[in-house]
Amino acid sequence: MAAGTAGARRATGRALVGWFALPATAVLLVFFCYPLITIVWRSFSDPTLGFGNYLSLLHDGTSVRVLWRTLYTAMLVAVCTLVIAYPYAYAMTRMGPRGRGIMTLLVLLPFWTSLMARNFAWYLLEQRGGVVEKLLAAIGINGVELLGSVAGVAVAMVQVMLPYMVLPLYSSMNSIDRRLLDAATSLGAPWPRAFRKVYLPLSLPGVLSGFSLVFIMSLGFYITPSLLGSPQQALVSQVIGIRVNNLLDFGGAGALGAVLLVVTLLVLALVNRLARPAAALSQAVDRA
Amino acid sequence: MRQKKIMVAVLGVVLFAATACVGSPGASGNAFTFVSYGAGTYQNGQVSAWVDPYQQEKGVKITVDSPTDNAKMKVMTESGKVAWDAVDTDPFYARQYCGKYLEKIDVGALASSFPAGTLTACGVPDALFGVELMYNTKTYPKNPPTSLADFFDPVKFPGKRIINGNDPTSGIVEAALLGDGVAPAALYPLDVNRALKVYDRIKPDLTFATTYGQEQQAMVGNQADMALLVSSRAYSVLKSGGTFWKPVWDKVPVSWSDLVIPKGSPHKDLAQQFIQYASQPAQAARFASAAGVGPANTTAKATLDGLAQQVDPFSAAHKPDEVLMNADWWARNENNATTAWTKWMTG
Amino acid sequence: MPKATGAGENGLGWGLRAWVAVVVLLLLAPTLVVIPMSFSASATFAFPPRNWSLRWYEQFFTSDAWMSSLVTSLEVGLLVAALATVLGVAAAFALDRGRFVGRGAIRTLAMAPMIMPGIVVAVAIYAVFLRWHLTGTVTGFVLAHTTLAIPFVITSVTTSLAGYDRTVETAAASLGANPATTFRRITLPLVLPGVASGFAFAFVTSLDEVVIALFLQTPNVRTLPVQMYDSITLQIDPTIAAASSLMVVATTLVLLIPQLLRRRRSTS
């Protein structure tokens, strides 16, 4: 009898507790979703109703190029971070608890360090006569000026994005039973082959969530391109910023923004079954 | 990790408590905000010639903000949050948006003290300046550039050029056309597309500064080889250690700045009194002398120091090369020209 | 198992070790240049500095613009942390305990701000806030940053909710505790670490946010990251080097101190 009332109470409780989600949902709907819907709507209605903003993206001769450049850069950044981060995340799983703690800390330090401070540091390194130029000159490559180029933006972005790649990778690799790899090698498979056939496929969810996370974040990244890039080699985020700031062209900026949103949603839809990048990241940070 | 994060928050609270005593600037009744183009001899001149003495004489607190940004000014009026009261901006803006985005300004008896055709209902001229070409003597110790055409010739003069990409109305469009051989008399109506094609030649070598402050500092920091910039900034460059920069004397597009009051300014009376004060001959002369600009009040006489004289486009020697801008053309076409420029710049 | 990990640690090849070292260098070294920069005597960003001084630290602590931006940042950050924590904790409970229509949709919505392109969100919020007269107000900053912070709080709290044994609650209830008592005496202490971590996460999210803040700023309401951004793009103000160094050192200390304390505790 007592169990019955407790069960009933719990059932009503479960229905009631749902309402606790209401305030957060309301705030997100009003101050997050509504603005996004409005900006997309303005891309069709500002200054005149129709597809004018999109047609002008196609025909103005620069927007398409900027979009491709942005996709290419985001892809490049994601590939580079993956290549750099994969062995690091793998090494983390092979460490003892203390080594692992230290390696996590080393990833979290930049993650928690002010974004502006890190971008400012890159600004210093990449300027004319800066450290990067001198280093390159020392090994015989002269006259490379990274500041103001897509390459300069990409280099800094790779460093800024590294934690976003390492953490999901590690959290997925950590759940792989290493004995599988040991078993494969003890059965006579050479290590590279065992790695490729056994370990790599198992780490794929982490690769996908890290990769898609970095790719998506790079698409809409504003600070690094606008500080280290240049208008001539602009990424979409810079063009959106300049259109809004200099021309108050919310329609045109909205159209470019809508394209970014669509690409983001497409990527998310593609990887959603295999990984949930955002959740993966925050859990990784939280557990660390 | 959790512990660490909690410590972040604790640290934040402590910092907050420690700094709370500093307080944020309050919006008291006897205060207003003056906006100019940012630290450099120009704004510093305005501060020393107008802002400081005015604060002392009238007991008004003036906050100086920068840089001037016309788009931002429009947004302020439209959103009803006008944080700027007296603004130094270009004269086309004053002509274009009088009454819409700007308050009318009464200058009383001073109305006749400005060069003919410069004063408008919403804009009071405060300085004349020219757009000059300068080059880095470290880069071009021998055979330096000698004309505007050289600025647009990346083959004869390889090197990094810098301009302020956010101020296409300052005279840099005119400079490109003059450099391409257009006669001063045939300049208006401006062929903006032709000017952009001229800039296309050097686009890979071009750095777009976002403000004059940034441009000036890039020059002093040896981050560029040639520059187009307004004459007051040329003076700033020399004054802040960039003496390895030298002007090239060719045709000089000449423009002026206006003081305006954004519509909806909460302190428009104070701002108007301030603008009247700044336009007096004594104040105008003090500003012109400190900033190396031409005084807008025709009865004021500026006394320039040696560095300012080096880059002064208003001396008798350079008088014939001055090409005065057509403010009415710009007032009519500023929107289209700025849009074309901005879209061209980002690509 | 411990034996296996021990063997693994010893088994790291030289190639992998070198790679790890390079990655660590890449992660940490670039940021450190701000520290020598901050002691420069020169008003330019020339690096490495030729002469040394403390003038940029003096400037940071005495300038109205820098101090008031710091105060604004901390004020906004604390308000955001408080608001996002209240909203996020409630939502996390609802998502964890509740069974209702649209739960999946709300979960997705709650994660969306973490993943949508930053610049698009910023411009969208800017456009709407202009109309609502929220630009240049602390309220505007707090609302915008709260939407970004809510996902972090929800994840934090959800993780700690998922991590504990629900039978404790059932036990308390069966021993006669009413739901309020159960919540206060059992549930709350167990999720408190998650709540605190969510609070801290929200605070840092707001403190570090630049893009939305850039659009919402006015001269009177300007956060520290915006002041830093302006000191590169508007005019070179090396005070940013002092500000950056202080932030780097503060972050490092906050992250390292617990680590060091723990080590001391374990060795003593």
Tell me: the pLDDT tens digits for A34-66? Answer: 999 999 999 999 888 999 999 999 988 889 999
Picking from A232, A245, A286, the nearest residue to B206 by CB comes out as: A232
Give the mean pLDDT of C37-54: 90
**How many domains does chain B contain in total?**
2
Picking from A36, A105, A268, the nearest residue to C255 by CB comes out as: A105
CATH code at position B216: 3.40.190.10
Q: Which one is predicted more confidently, B5 or A18? A: A18
Q: Percent of chain A at pLDDT above 70? A: 90
Do B127 and B257 meet the contact criterion of CB atoms below 8 Å apart? Answer: yes
On whether residue A268 sits in a domain, the answer given is yes
| Paired sense of beta strands B226-230 and B31-35, if any | unpaired
User: Does residue A90 carry a pLDDT above 50?
Assistant: yes
On whether residue B190 sits in a domain, the answer given is yes
Determine the residue of chain A that is closest to C84 in CA distance.
Answer: A24
Determine the residue of chain A that is closest to B69 in CA distance.
Answer: A246
pLDDT at C229: 94
User: Does residue C7 carry a pLDDT above 50?
Assistant: no
Q: Which residues of C touch B74 (CB under 8 A)?
A: none
Give the mean pLDDT of C207-218: 94
Picking from B5, B20, B210, the nearest residue to C233 by CB comes out as: B210
On whether residue B98 sits in a domain, the answer given is yes
On whether residue A51 sits in a domain, the answer given is no
The verdict on A232 and A105 lying in the same domain is yes
User: Does residue B19 carry a pLDDT above 60?
Assistant: no
Determine the residue of chain A that is closest to B335 in CA distance.
Answer: A247
Host domain of residue A239: 61-287
Q: Hey, is the C-beta of C67 within 8 angstroms of any chain A C-beta?
A: no
On whether residue A119 sits in a domain, the answer given is yes
Mean pLDDT lowest for which of A69-78, C101-110, C213-222, C253-262?
Answer: C253-262
pLDDT at C6: 38
User: Does residue B320 carry a pLDDT above 60?
Assistant: yes
What chains are in contact with C, requiring at least 3 Cβ pairs below 8 Å? A, B
Give the confidence band of C3 by pLDDT, cuts at 50, 70, 90: very low
On whether residue A66 sits in a domain, the answer given is yes
Q: Percent of chain B at pLDDT above 90? A: 68
- Minimal Cα–Cα distance from A245 to chain B, Å? 6
Give the mean pLDDT of B219-245: 93
Q: Percent of chain C at pLDDT above 70? A: 92
Host domain of residue B329: 129-255+311-345
**How many domains does chain A contain in total?**
2
User: Does residue B299 carry a pLDDT above 70?
Assistant: yes
Q: Which residues of A touch C27 (CB under 8 A)?
A: 106-107, 109-110, 159, 162-163
The verdict on A15 and A126 lying in the same domain is no
SS (H, E, C) chain B: CHHHHHHHHHHHHHHHHHHHCCCCCCCCCCEEEEECCCCCHHHHHHHHHHHHHHHHHHCCEEEEECCCCHHHHHHHHHHCCCCCCEEEECHHHHHHCECCCECCCCCHHHHHHCCCCCCCCCCEEEEEEEEEEEEECCCCCCCCCCCHHHHCCCCCCCCCEEEECCCCCCCHHHHHHHHCCCCHHHCCCCCHHHHHHHHHCCHHHEEEECCHHHHHHHHHCCCCCEEEEEHHHHHHHHHCCCCCEEEECCCEEEEEEEEECECCCCCHHHHHHHHHHHCCHHHHHHHHHHHCCEECCCCCCCCCCHHHHHCCCCCHHHHHHEEECCHHHHHHHHHHHHHHHHHHHCC
Mean pLDDT lowest for which of B59-68, C160-169, C254-263?
Answer: C254-263
The verdict on B151 and B237 lying in the same domain is yes
Determine the residue of chain B that is closest to C45 in CA distance.
Answer: B221
The verdict on B169 and B261 lying in the same domain is no
The verdict on A24 and A111 lying in the same domain is no
User: Does residue B173 carry a pLDDT above 70?
Assistant: yes
Give the confidence band of C194 by pLDDT, cuts at 50, 70, 90: confident
Q: Which residues of A touch C26 (CB under 8 A)?
A: 84, 159, 162
Cβ pair A245:B69 closer than 8 A: yes
User: Does residue B218 carry a pLDDT above 80?
Assistant: yes
CB pairs under 8 A between A and B: 60
Q: Hey, is the C-beta of C257 within 8 angstroms of any chain B C-beta?
A: yes
User: Does residue B121 carry a pLDDT above 80?
Assistant: yes
User: Does residue C266 carry a pLDDT above 80?
Assistant: no
pLDDT at A36: 97
The verdict on B160 and B248 lying in the same domain is yes
Determine the residue of chain A that is closest to B209 in CA distance.
Answer: A230
Cβ pair A62:B339 closer than 8 A: no
The verdict on B136 and B244 lying in the same domain is yes
- Residues A238, A243, A247, A253, Cα dihedral to 10°: -160
Cβ pair A31:C16 closer than 8 A: no
Q: Hey, is the C-beta of A285 within 8 angstroms of any chain B C-beta?
A: yes
The verdict on A264 and A205 lying in the same domain is yes
Cβ pair A113:C32 closer than 8 A: no
Q: Which one is predicted more confidently, C233 or A71? A: A71
B40: region left, alpha or beta (phi > 0 left; psi from -120 to 50 alpha)? left
The verdict on B215 and B341 lying in the same domain is yes
Mean pLDDT lowest for which of A131-135, B100-104, B266-270, C96-100?
Answer: C96-100
The verdict on A259 and A132 lying in the same domain is yes
Q: Which residues of C touch B233 (CB under 8 A)?
A: none
Q: Which residues of C touch A39 (CB under 8 A)?
A: 120, 123-124, 127
The verdict on A86 and A17 lying in the same domain is no
The verdict on B142 and B217 lying in the same domain is yes
CATH code at position A182: 1.10.3720.10
The verdict on A200 and A83 lying in the same domain is yes
In single-letter form, the type of residue at position B249 comes to W
Picking from A128, A242, A286, the nearest residue to B1 by CB comes out as: A286
Cβ pair C174:A2 closer than 8 A: yes
CB pairs under 8 A between B and C: 114
Give the confidence band of A283 by pLDDT, cuts at 50, 70, 90: low
The verdict on B123 and B137 lying in the same domain is no
Interatomic CA distance for residues A33 and A26, integer angstroms: 10
The verdict on A123 and A22 lying in the same domain is no
Q: Which two tokens stand for residue B2?
A: 């959790």
On whether residue B2 sits in a domain, the answer given is no
User: Does residue B23 carry a pLDDT above 60?
Assistant: no
On whether residue B21 sits in a domain, the answer given is no
What chains are in contact with B, requiring at least 3 Cβ pairs below 8 Å? A, C
On whether residue A246 sits in a domain, the answer given is yes
On whether residue A56 sits in a domain, the answer given is no
User: Does residue C70 carry a pLDDT above 50?
Assistant: yes
The verdict on B226 and B247 lying in the same domain is yes
pLDDT digits (tens, 9 = 90+) for C160-174: 887 777 777 788 888
Cβ pair B1:A65 closer than 8 A: no
On whether residue B294 sits in a domain, the answer given is yes
The verdict on B221 and B337 lying in the same domain is yes
Cβ pair B165:A231 closer than 8 A: yes
The verdict on A140 and A31 lying in the same domain is no
The verdict on B269 and B180 lying in the same domain is no
Cβ pair A61:B347 closer than 8 A: yes
pLDDT at B120: 94
User: Does residue B315 carry a pLDDT above 80?
Assistant: yes
On whether residue B43 sits in a domain, the answer given is yes
Give the confidence band of A172 by pLDDT, cuts at 50, 70, 90: confident
Q: Hey, is the C-beta of A103 within 8 angstroms of any chain B C-beta?
A: no
The verdict on A29 and A77 lying in the same domain is no
Cβ pair C115:A277 closer than 8 A: yes
Average pLDDT, whole number, for chain A? 88
The verdict on B179 and B146 lying in the same domain is yes
Picking from A129, A247, A287, the nearest residue to B71 by CB comes out as: A247
Give the mean pLDDT of B45-65: 94
User: Does residue A4 carry a pLDDT above 60?
Assistant: no
Q: Hey, is the C-beta of B27 within 8 angstroms of any chain C C-beta?
A: yes
On whether residue A245 sits in a domain, the answer given is yes
Do C209 and C125 meet the contact criterion of CB atoms below 8 Å apart? Answer: no
The verdict on B230 and B156 lying in the same domain is yes
Interatomic CA distance for residues C112 and B1, integer angstroms: 24
Give the confidence band of A271 by pLDDT, cuts at 50, 70, 90: confident
Determine the residue of chain C that is closest to B21 in CA distance.
Answer: C71
The verdict on A69 and A41 lying in the same domain is no
Average pLDDT, whole number, for chain B? 89
The verdict on A118 and A165 lying in the same domain is yes
Q: Which residues of B touch A65 (CB under 8 A)?
A: 347
What chains are in contact with A, requiring at least 3 Cβ pairs below 8 Å? B, C
Interface test with chain C among B1, B3, B32, B36, by most C beta carbons within 10 Å = B3
On whether residue A50 sits in a domain, the answer given is no
State which H helix or E strand residue C80 sits in.
helix C64-97
- Minimal Cα–Cα distance from B317 to chain A, Å? 37
On whether residue B320 sits in a domain, the answer given is yes
